[in-house]
Structure 1
Amino acid sequence: MRRSTTDHAAAGPDGRRGHIRKAAIATGVVAAVAGGLYVAGLVATGDDISEGTRVSGVDIGGLSRSEAAVRLTSAAPAAWKDPMRVKVGDATTALDPARAGLTVDVAATAERAADPSRDPVTVIGRLFSSGSRDIEPVVSFDATKAREAVRHVAEKHDRTVREGAVAFKKGRTVVTPAQDGRKLDVDRAVDALRAAYPGAGTAAGIGSGLGTGAGVGAGSGGSAPVALPVAVTKPTVGQAEVDRFVKEFATPALSGPVTLTAAGNRLTIPAVTLADHLKVTTEGGRLTPSLDSRGLLRDPDVARPLHTFTGGPVEASLGVRDGKVVVERDGRPGREVSADALGRAVEPLLTEVGDAARTGPVATTETEPELTAKNVAALGITEQMSTFTVNFPKAPYRTTNIGRAVELINGSLVKPGEVWSFNRTVGERTEANGFVDGTMIMDGQYQKAPGGGVSAVATTVYNALFFAGVKPVEHGAHSFYIERYPAGREATVAWGTLDLRFRNDSGKPIYIKASSTDSSVTVSFLGTKKYDSVEAVAGPRTNITPPAERKGTGDKCEVQEPLEGFDIKVDRVFKNGGTEVKRETFGTHYTPRDKVTCEKQSR
């Protein structure tokens, strides 16, 4: 025990000194090595930027900050400056990043690349690293420019929603393709550009506050374009519905004519005619066709052949013998196709293809004439109520125009309470309606115009209604007096401005019989007299006004003889049993008929 204690005590002070000495030596060695490594590291790293430092592939190792900024400017990658490809919906376009406020700040990037620390640990650590550093570029962002650039893109690529539609015009199917509405979200699009621009969003970016970047080259070369966010509005009627409608209805509907049959007769309606009366409506996003059967029935391409195809009723033709009404030719029934029947026949054929499949029957109904030998007396058409004849100088245009008006008026049946209209019955005086140019009063003098001479018929009808005792509703006299007409008892008409109308207040139907020759026109009213007689009593001419003299020019000018103007009143006196029961007074003012000579215009 003692020995052990003695040995331990003897070793104590000397041993501690040995350990301390060894530790000091070791520390000195480490310090010497570290110092050498630090010096070596400082030599390897250079003054500013370490060797092996790259920014987007550009080597700036061993350069000073200013030298690095110059190199980054001259050797800038394409992704920093080339146009960025952006996609808006299905459209792709290019956007200059600089115009959009996106650029790389080379000075700030060089500053970022400079060695962040000179402490021994960092310097020595880099001696044992791989020898390369990749630095993200610092991006400068101008929000105002970015928004302006995005708005410019929006102006070009935003579009309103377009509903799909189908119409029929001139025998063709006209398709309006459906189109999605598209509106660029400007705020989110700016964010997308910032995120996609190379290096955007590095936390050390100068004042940018950007998020982590999407990587180098996101908008250049063969990389995918930057998808800018858009709000899409879908049309109610989409393209699929348009395609369905065209396939199922439009194409077969206009694939050829439709043929209708009845009683061995055939009526062919061309596809171009069908198209004029097809309509398309939209309900709940679905296109639905409809046929305007009433319009189709009125269409000349259908109405004319259909009239021959079916044959309308023929009214009885009446005459007068010994003051009594007689039937000169009996009426006969006809057959007609109603608008509903036409629609029911045509509609199912529209979705068929081929001549045989597009042929089908149409229902007809028998139509009775209003006037027959059996019902003439029962209707109360028993006697001649009035008749009047006007004579006129022969002229080819008068023969044609008066004859055509008479043809259209003859056989008119006016029911009790109905108003008969000259213009509605005769129609517009055009060449298509059978009229030619003739002489008539226009602007206070004779001129050539379509339908000249028809006023002779109007005057004859007016006197027939005057003496039949029925109520005039509208009539007007000529502006100046024409000698062959009874003063104060004559009428003229003008299409669209002046009509001759009367109401049948006799209590029974009135049949109008009209005829003409080359020099006269006669109109008779057949029915039942309400008064035994109707007489005309003319007063004196007053307010006599002398004519003037004028010269006319132009091809339409007509020579005109002078005649004084005047006022006149005519009484219509109603009598029963020879006793006056009522009296009406009609006043007429005639302007002077100036003397007109025609001068040829110099050319």
Structure 2
Amino acid sequence: MRDKVKSVTAQGLPNRGTGRFLLVLSILLLLSGCGRAARPQIQGNIPAGTKVDNLDLSGLETKAAQQKLKDWAKGKLAHNLRLVYNGTEVAVSLRSLGAGLDLNKTWQEVSAHPGSAVSSYWTVDKEQTAKTLAKKLSQFDRPAQDASYKIADDKFIVRPGIPGRTVDTWTLIREIDGHTWQEIENKAIEIPVTAVAPRVSTESVQRLAFNSVIGEFTTKYAVSEKDRSSNLQRAAAALDKKIVLPGQTFSFNDTVGPRTEATGYKDAYVIVNNKYVEGVGGGVCQVSSTLYNAALLADLKIVARTPHAMAITYVPLGQDATVDYNSKVDFKFQNNTGALLYIRSQTKPGLLTICIYGKQTGKTVTLKHQIVKETDFEVERRPDPSLASGATVQEQAGSKGYTVKSWRVLKDAQGKVTEEYLGEDVYAPTNQIIRYGVKGIR
């Protein structure tokens, strides 16, 4: 729907000559006006000295004068404004901007002031003005490019943001309105633009940048245990090159996913009910435990961690983290730094190393534990009819149980040392199981 604004005269504006161009801003600034009473009509020819702006209507009959006024307005509306940006010129006609002469109001002024110079009345379609300028000047708009980053060769590389620009339409309208008709005809008007900042600044991306390994831990595994090694390597690969944003909580189970035959995991020894039995995914807990130690050394906030039921050998006491996808036993940590974390998880024959990259702060972290209690294991003897009488086989080696307290020791860049108590873990003893032969015995 066309939105016609009410007309105004140049007499209502300061420092404006009768030749001032009142196309847009003058009209928009005075959106409301009082209605005028009907004015007397000129009888006979137009008196000498009667002008509309610089158009002389002296001596003309009313119809001829009105036609001349229409023709004059038509010529004005066909005039092209010369709008320029950075050497590129765009021509925009006044008519295309939705301007038009209000003949009735203009003629009322002529009738009310015969023999005098009066100002013309103009209307403008605001929707058309905005639409025309948007179309004609869109070539000068340039969207801002957000800053971003990439990681290459374990290095954080910042892609700086690039400011954009947009045409400042209202400033342009005010600039046009500040010129007379004659000035517009002979002058190119510079198109004003406004800088548009990227939504993601270069500085905000730089704050995410990591610059060092802040936590690293290595554990050993037996290459000869092929199925267990395969599971370990598969889980480690799922962690590699993962990113943890500031404030984000990392879940081992969500990242590695279910450990099933369908996802490529094999049977290997796992701990169930304080015993070692074969189960799909054996060896994955070594990966979660290695990650746990790297996270501790990186001084990250530990959100969820469960020790094994029995002591394991690939990490020190109190430094293990068991996981089980089906029972939702998970290892989680939170990125409580202001920078991005980047995980590298790599396996070599017999070695698993997990590194956590972050922003170096100058602090160092060490871990310590204290064995509070030891519990001896028991020997469990089981008859085996497949073994000859007197023969014995050790089915499972026994191991002691322990109660352990653990701490994280932090030393900041100024040398101040603080200790963080991590908690107390209880590991049950593992019974030694001996099978003895009863073959042939009745």
User: Please, what TM-score do these two structures have when normalized by structure 2?
Assistant: 0.49
Task: Tell me which protein shows more strand as a share of its residues.
Answer: 2
Larger fraction in helix: 1
TM-score (norm 1): 0.36
